[in-house]
Amino acid sequence: MADLAAPGLAPAGTDTSDTAVDPAGWTCPAPLRDQPVVVMGHGGGGALSAELIEQVFAPAYGNPLLAALTDSAVFDLGGARIAFSTDSYVVRPLFFPGGCLGDLAVNGTVNDLAMSGARPAFLSTAFVLEEGVELSVVGRIARAVGAAARAADVTVATGDTKVVESGHGDGVYVTTAGVGLVPEGVDIRPRRARPGDAVIVSGPIGQHGVAVMSVREGLEFGVEITSDTAPLAGLVAAMLEVTKDLHVLRDPTRGGLGTALNEIARASGTGVLLRDRAVPVPEEVENACGFLGLDPLYVANEGRLVAFVPPEHAEAVLAAMRAHPQGTGAARIGECVADHPGMVVVATGLGGTRVVDLPLGEQLPRIC
């Protein structure tokens, strides 16, 4: 047993008698087992979310369409190739710099459809309202839904409203579902990623997450950081005009770019190699993440996409993206590789590498 009592360091009066540390007797914490209740991480878009789907929902519904775990399901119906998707929207605060819950609810579902290459056509909206919420708030959100739908060229064709008792909701929740048509010859899904594909992101990352967090954390910005919420179907159409052979599209929403790339790598059995300095991160986002201890790669986006494009089309697709209003900041950030299948690796600016893993749940500000 080593005696650690150290007169030189222990201040006078401190009891240092029963203090030996024996490495053989060093103890360890007991295991943390799977959570038996829902925790916030189940909604974070990371590993816990994936497990919830894989272990609870997929077995219960059991069909190959769902098992593909894509942003939107694609199937044939009445001779048409249909994309179909649904998503629920909860955000605090309801209104944030650059948008509100209503914008997210439309753009999110429009983008999920667009990530299959579909042209979004019709949406449904279902509102869950908390007793006591001011009607003017509901009105503002409804008007935002209408404006966003017009901007995305989709029709809100049906809807529903429910009210829950005061204290049983965060004011307003919105669920939207949408359908769209997938053009002939288009087959875009995570499993089609191939080594050699160029990985392209449509613009600077992290703005939505930081805009929302700035309200919660009391941050101010020299230049206002606004959410990037936007419909991406037009951008996708422009990309498809260059080539129908886009392999993968994904909108890196909650969980951010890092999570989206991990999901693609795992689904396709390929690796992804990013160049750290090629990933566009606005300075304010970088610095806000810096002192909250967050990684911009895991921060949510609501108006960006990441594309896996065959190398021979990469430059033309990139040029088409940059010519579109939603893709002016597009950048080639890395490529799909055969090495380290299922993993995302970043080549750092100094010449080293690091692994970008699938996060467990949501990112939290840290001090360590």
Partner 1 sequence: MKYVEEFNDPARARRLLDEIRAAVTRPWALMEVCGGQTHSIIRHGIDQLLPEEVELIHGPGCPVCVTPLDVIDKAMDIAARPEVVFCSFGDMLRVPGTDRDLFRVKGEGGDVRVVYSPLDALELARENPDRQVVFFAIGFETTAPANAMAVHQARRLGLGNFSLLVSHVRVPPAMQAIMTAPSCRVQGFLAAGHVCSVMGTAEYPDLAEKYRVPVVVTGFEPLDILEGIRRAVHQLERGEHRVENAYPRAVREQGNPAALAMIEEVFEVTDRNWRGIGRIPASGWRLTDAFRAYDAEHRFDVSGIRTEEPAVCRAGEVLQGLIKPTECEAFGAACTPRTPLGATMVSSEGACAAYYLYRRMNAPAPQGSRIPREEMNPVG
Partner 2 sequence: MCLAVPGKVVSIDHQADPLTGLIDFGGVRKQACLEYLPDVRVGEYVIVHVGFALQRLDEESARASLELFDQLGLLEEEFGDAWEQAARQENETESEVR
Q: Where on the chain is the footprint of partner 2 (CB under 8 A)?
A: 217-223, 283-284, 286-288, 290-291, 293, 366-368
Answer yes or no whether residue 55 interacts with partner 1 by CB under 8 A. no
Q: Which residues contact 202 (CB under 8 A, 6 or more apart)?
A: 232, 235, 304, 305, 306, 307, 321, 326, 327, 329, 330
The one-character DSSP state at 53 is I
Residue of the chain from 118, 236, 264, 292 that contacts partner 1 (CB under 8 A)? 292
Among the listed ranges 93-101, 146-154, 262-270, 356-364, the one in contact with partner 1 (CB under 8 A) is: 356-364
Binds 221: which of partner 1, partner 2, none (CB < 5-8 Å by kind): partner 2
Answer yes or no whether residue 11 interacts with partner 1 by CB under 8 A. yes
CB of 159 to partner 2, least distance (A): 39
User: C-alpha 53: how far from its chain's center?
Assistant: 16
CB of 260 to partner 1, least distance (A): 18
Answer yes or no whether residue 76 interacts with partner 1 by CB under 8 A. no
Per DSSP, the residues of 24-41 read: GG---PPPP---SS--GG
Residue of the chain from 177, 273, 274, 336 that contacts partner 1 (CB under 8 A)? 273
* Dihedral pair phi/psi, residue 191, rounded to 5°: -70, -10
The residue type found at 97 is: P
The residue type found at 231 is: P
CB of 217 to partner 2, least distance (A): 8
Q: Tokens 């959100």 belong to which residue?
A: 141
Mode of pairing for the β-strands spanning 80-89 and 172-181? antiparallel
Instruction: Please report, to the nearest 10 degrees, the dihedral formed by the alpha carbons of residues 261, 265, 271, 274 taken in order.
Output: 0
Between 211 and 336, name the residue whose CB sits nearer to partner 2: 211
Give the SS3 label for residue 245: coil
Is 284 within 8 Å of 223 (Cβ atoms)?
yes
Between 239 and 288, name the residue whose CB sits nearer to partner 2: 288
CB of 214 to partner 2, least distance (A): 8
Examine residue 93 and say whether the peptide bond preceding it is cis (omega within 30 degrees of 0): yes
Mode of pairing for the β-strands spanning 344-347 and 271-275? parallel
The one-character DSSP state at 224 is -
Answer yes or no whether residue 30 interacts with partner 1 by CB under 8 A. yes
Among the listed ranges 6-14, 105-113, 162-170, 230-238, the one in contact with partner 1 (CB under 8 A) is: 6-14
Between 110 and 285, name the residue whose CB sits nearer to partner 2: 285
Among the listed ranges 100-108, 125-133, 147-155, 283-291, the one in contact with partner 1 (CB under 8 A) is: 283-291
Q: From residue 273, how far is each of 144, 247, 278, 351 by CA, in Å?
A: 38, 17, 11, 13
Paired tokens of 187: 């087959």
Geometric angle at alpha carbon 273, from 270 and 275, rounded to 5°: 165
First-last CA distance in the chain: 32
CB of 226 to partner 2, least distance (A): 14
Between 33 and 64, name the residue whose CB sits nearer to partner 1: 33
Binds 339: which of partner 1, partner 2, none (CB < 5-8 Å by kind): partner 1
CB of 34 to partner 1, least distance (A): 8
Answer yes or no whether residue 351 interacts with partner 1 by CB under 8 A. yes
In the stretch 212-251, what mask flags binding to partner 1 with x, by CB under 8 A? Answer: -----x----------------------------------
Residues within the interface to partner 1 (CB under 8 A): 2-6, 8-11, 14-16, 18-19, 21-23, 25-35, 37-41, 47, 217, 273, 283, 287, 290, 292-293, 339-340, 343, 345, 347-355, 357, 360-361, 364-368
